[in-house]
Amino acid sequence: MADTVRPSVSPKTVARISLYRRLLSDLSRSGAVNVYSHQLAHLAGVSAAQVRRDFMVIGYSGSPNRGYQIESCLASIDSFLDGHTRQDLALVGVGRLGRAVLAHFAGRRPLLHISAAFDLDPALIGTEVDGCPVHDVGELERVIKEKAIRVAILAVPPEHAQALAERLVAAGVRSIVDFTAMPLRVPDEVYVHYMDITSALESAAFFARQEAPEEPETEAADAPEVEMRPMMHTIDSLLEGAPVKLEELAHNIGARVLTPGPAEGVAITRIYAGDRVSDLLTEASSQTLLITNLANLQMVRVAELMEVPGICFVDDIQPDPEIVELATANRTLLMVSPAGVFETCGLIYQYLATARGTPPGEQTPFAADRSPRAGRKRT
């Protein structure tokens, strides 16, 4: 039947869109009117490119100047997740967990309504809990069919989960939220979402016991970054009066360009050389070139968050395809220098000093020939 065909949207995408709705609702209550993809991405713990791809699924697009209009975005998400007509749900099990579900969900989603609950307790049957009528579990099939319920929540002891799931499916249910922590054997066309609280708590407790290895800050460990600071200040002073385009800079220091940057091109006014994400978050801007040893996804995502237009990996490293793909999607220019971090900064200084008419070596606080690789330059 047509209505049993599974949608092409993945469960992970639906879960992210549901998260966006909660975050956008919070922003709306705080008085915000618009939000940019990188801001929402930061709140959701994903990339801005991922946010944009997810919003393409719901057919919503923002403005480059103003970002996403929160209220209209929420309306699009509501239409995507909830549909246009009310959808009735069933709850099986009205114990402590079942009651908590009813109390939490009451009135939250106008188009999603828990309209029937089932239990064995004679004291509950025939009553209402948070506005939801409680039926005898023996009436499950009749009530499910009468109300055309297609979504059910299982909150029963684990030993009863499989039998009740089979009865729900036979009655017409096509999606189950399972709080029993028991794997259910159901037909492929039936969607099951497992909510295993015990497993989640055990995982949290396990990782809480794992102590992160201490990384004492020693003078020797800090020396390379300390040594880089005067170099970056000197380069920044050269860039201050005459910014340089990323593509031009890459060509003149012999770096390979792997991905295109913004279509209009970006002139940089700052250099940040280092691997500390915490420093990058405070130092970077939309006109900064990041030079780093770390060719990983985290650096690309942080650069995206801070709207850094370009990243220069060093030592002729070839980044993984997923890094190149993410940078391409984000319009972050990736280049690869044949030299190390220090030597790459030396090449940049030599190019800028020559271009600005400053004799290399006269005003620089570092030695450009610190390594034999420093003079290497592609033509």
Q: Which of 57, 82, 107 is the last residue of a domain?
A: 82
Q: Is residue 1 part of a domain?
A: no
The answer on 238 and 271 residing in a single domain is yes
Q: Which residues contact 104 (CB under 8 A, 6 or more apart)?
A: none
pLDDT tens digits, one per residue of 163-206: 999 999 999 999 999 999 888 999 989 999 888 887 778 878 88
DSSP 363: S
What's the whole-number mean pLDDT along residues 244-248? 86
Number of domains observed in the structure of the chain:
3
CA-based nearest residue to 234, from 339, 341, 337, 358: 358
What's the whole-number mean pLDDT along residues 279-284? 64
CA-based nearest residue to 13, from 50, 68, 43: 50
Q: Is residue 177 part of a domain?
A: yes
Q: Is residue 179 part of a domain?
A: yes
What's the whole-number mean pLDDT along residues 150-157? 95
The answer on 371 and 244 residing in a single domain is yes
Whole-number mean pLDDT of the chain?
A: 80
What's the whole-number mean pLDDT along residues 241-259? 85
The answer on 361 and 229 residing in a single domain is yes
What's the whole-number mean pLDDT along residues 133-150? 96
Give the span between the Cα atoms of 240 and 232, in whole angstroms. 12
Q: Is residue 309 part of a domain?
A: yes
Q: Which domain holds residue 20?
A: 7-82
The per-residue pLDDT for 293 is: 81
Distance of CA 70 to the CA centre of its chain: 18
The answer on 43 and 140 residing in a single domain is no
Q: Of the segments 27-41, 57-71, 147-161, 192-206, which one has the largest average pLDDT value? A: 147-161
The pair of structure tokens assigned to 143 is 């009530």
Q: What is the DSSP string of 28-87?
A: HHTT--EE-HHHHHHHHTS-HHHHHHHHHHTT---BTTTBEEHHHHHHHHHHHHH-SS-E
Question: Residue 109 — very low, low, confident or very high, per pLDDT cuts 50/70/90?
Answer: confident
The answer on 263 and 193 residing in a single domain is no
pTM: 0.48
What percentage of the chain exceeds 90 in pLDDT? 31
CATH assignment of the domain containing 120:
3.40.50.720
Q: Does the pLDDT value for residue 360 go beyond 50?
A: no
The answer on 201 and 303 residing in a single domain is no
Question: Residue 365 — very low, low, confident or very high, per pLDDT cuts 50/70/90?
Answer: very low
Give the span between the Cα atoms of 7 and 11, in whole angstroms. 10
| 3-class state of residue 357 by DSSP | coil
pLDDT tens digits, one per residue of 61-106: 888 778 899 999 999 998 888 887 888 999 999 999 999 999 888 7
What's the whole-number mean pLDDT along residues 364-376? 39
CATH assignment of the domain containing 269:
3.40.1390.20
pLDDT tens digits, one per residue of 17-27: 999 999 999 99
> Which of 41-45, 220-224, 291-295 has the least mean pLDDT?
220-224
Q: Is residue 213 part of a domain?
A: no
Sheet holding 151-154, edge to edge: 128-129, 132-136, 112-119, 87-92, 151-154, 175-178, 191-194
The answer on 160 and 62 residing in a single domain is no
Give the span between the Cα atoms of 370 and 343, in whole angstroms. 7
The per-residue pLDDT for 115 is: 93
Q: Does the pLDDT value for residue 366 go beyond 50?
A: no
CATH assignment of the domain containing 16:
1.10.10.10
The answer on 249 and 359 residing in a single domain is yes
Question: Residue 225 — very low, low, confident or very high, per pLDDT cuts 50/70/90?
Answer: very low
| 3-class state of residue 348 by DSSP | helix
The answer on 52 and 180 residing in a single domain is no
Q: Is residue 236 part of a domain?
A: yes
Q: Is residue 2 part of a domain?
A: no
Question: Residue 207 — very low, low, confident or very high, per pLDDT cuts 50/70/90?
Answer: confident
Q: Which of 29, 62, 82 is the last residue of a domain?
A: 82
Q: Which of 82, 110, 126 is the last residue of a domain?
A: 82
Q: Is residue 304 part of a domain?
A: yes
The answer on 37 and 175 residing in a single domain is no
The per-residue pLDDT for 348 is: 83
What's the whole-number mean pLDDT along residues 200-222? 64
Question: Residue 212 — very low, low, confident or very high, per pLDDT cuts 50/70/90?
Answer: low
Give the span between the Cα atoms of 217 and 240, in whole angstroms. 32
The answer on 198 and 76 residing in a single domain is no
**Contacts within 8 Å (CB) and 24+ apart, 232-236:** 232/271, 232/272, 232/273, 232/345, 234/349, 234/363, 234/364, 234/365, 234/366, 235/271, 235/345, 235/348, 235/349, 235/352, 236/269, 236/270, 236/271
pLDDT tens digits, one per residue of 5-17: 334 688 888 889 9
The per-residue pLDDT for 91 is: 96
> Which of 133-137, 272-276, 280-284 has the least mean pLDDT?
280-284
The answer on 340 and 230 residing in a single domain is yes
